[in-house]
Amino acid sequence: MKKIILTVLFPLTIAACSQEATEQSMPVTASSASSAITDLTAETVPAEGFVINNAKILDGMGGIIENGSIVVQGDRIVSVNNGDSEITGALTIDAEGRTLMPGFIDAHRHIITGEDPAEWLANQAESNMQAFLEAGFTTVLSAGDAGEQVLELRRMTAENEILGPRIIAAMFTGLAAAGGPDLSLGDPARFDNARPPLRATEAMPAIPEAAVRGQVQALFDNGFDAAKNVINISPGGPEEEALGMIVEETQRLGIRTITHAVTVIDTLAAVRAGVDQLVHTPHIGLLTLEEAQQVADSNIPMTSTLGIFVPFYDENNEPIFRDALPFPWDTISSAGQGPVNARLLWEAGVVYGYGTDTTYAPSLTLKHELKSLFLVFSEQDILRIMGEYAAINVAMEDQIGTLEAGKIADIVLVDGNPEDDIFDLLNVDVVVKNGHFVVDKR
């Protein structure tokens, strides 16, 4: 295999991490942060909050205010208004016609990179977290990372020890005693055992029931938010039944089951098992309209991750994969089947949210995922995919993903109008997380 230098994407990651915008200005006092908002009128907002006037507002639900304002108190949005806010005394920011949106959510990401997670946490976590914020991401679901380190990262960002998005952490569980991806081969999407010739042709051995269920209890005891699994059904194998047990255990414990299924048959098996989130669009095989309807009727949200099988081009115009190695042409059909299935699922009513399943710079990831989404979705669709539907994917729709009174103040101010040109989402100027300014490039 021809090796392309792994640094192709890396310098861009560094470039995205400029430190000058690392600023946590305008902290809110403890008293105002803890006081409950009982009256959502502008007059009740004390000076510790802030107002952003003169903004176009895209609320994440399809709503548009051509010239509006937002009022924030503590970590909450108090009001979203037509025209400038009447309030005086609070810090007031003139958006100068920029576009206000809910903070971005990546509902499927792998955060920690490299051979040594402890080293990553010590030396790279801060700049990586800053890169997420600068790209507009205020919430990220880790769909599988080094466990100890991702839990520590979740704590550090939650307690503002380092600035970063809020992290939701999942841990892997197994569905069979064999048949998992051979990670020594390289990127599992490149050597995918969901596809022939690597796909199992006979039943895989089962994991004893107590052990299947015990995995969930163990990850719950460690503090994870979700049980992640990969389902590739083997003929007559134990996978679907084991997934059903995992769903039962997560329901009992009040956490979630999130499932990687990339073929049509595996997706339908995950639907039958009743998982909480499908973390990929099926891209191996085309759904029938009836199958798409079956997925939609389950009300299980699905995460896009469409960009994985679309080539990148390096500086020599060589097509490369997400691992920065030459593009594996035996996977290219997924670049078409994924978006086609996505649109069929959308038409059937699936709640479809933004997620990338990547490890490289969040701004580049966003650009690449938007490219794939834009093949079959309009700007208006994509704004919803990035807003309320991404929030539903991470089960936080009552708190984030939309600009509404009472929601957490996760806000992005974009230079331009993504409703006209979706790639304006790449021009993030200001990011507010939990009511705090974490990026300000104005």
Q: Which is nearer to Zn ion, 357 or 369 (CB)?
A: 357
71 - beta bridge partners? 51, 79
Query: Closest CB to Zn ion belongs to which residue?
Result: 357
- Minimum distance from residue 347 beta carbon to Zn ion (Å): 26
Which DSSP symbol is given to 185?
A: G
- Minimum distance from residue 132 beta carbon to Zn ion (Å): 16
* 8 A C-beta contact, residue 71 and residue 42: yes
- Minimum distance from residue 380 beta carbon to Zn ion (Å): 28
* Residues 88-127: x where in contact with Zn ion by CB under 5 A, - otherwise, as a string: ----------------------------------------
Separation CA 16–CA 130 (nearest Å) = 8
Which DSSP symbol is given to 372?
A: H
* 8 A C-beta contact, residue 397 and residue 391: yes
Structure tokens at 270: 């995950």
369 touching Zn ion, by CB under 5 A: no
Which of helix, strand or coil describes residue 368?
A: helix
Report how many residues bind Zn ion under the rule CB under 5 A: 2
- Residue of 42, 70, 78, 143 that binds Zn ion (CB under 5 A): 143
- Minimum distance from residue 120 beta carbon to Zn ion (Å): 17
Q: Which is nearer to Zn ion, 323 or 357 (CB)?
A: 357
- Minimum distance from residue 194 beta carbon to Zn ion (Å): 13
CA trace torsion 286, 287, 288, 294 (10° rounding): 170
User: Considering only 17-25, 93-101, 138-146, 358-366, which stretch makes contact with Zn ion by CB under 5 A?
Assistant: 138-146
What would you measure as the largest C-alpha separation in the chain, in angstroms? Answer: 70
Which residue in 354, 413, 391 sits closest to 72, CA to CA? 413
Binders of Zn ion in range 341-360 (CB under 5 A): 357
- Minimum distance from residue 308 beta carbon to Zn ion (Å): 9
Q: Which is nearer to Zn ion, 143 or 383 (CB)?
A: 143
Q: What are phi and psi of 305, to 5 degrees?
A: 45, 40
What is the contact surface with Zn ion in residues (CB under 5 A)? Answer: 143, 357
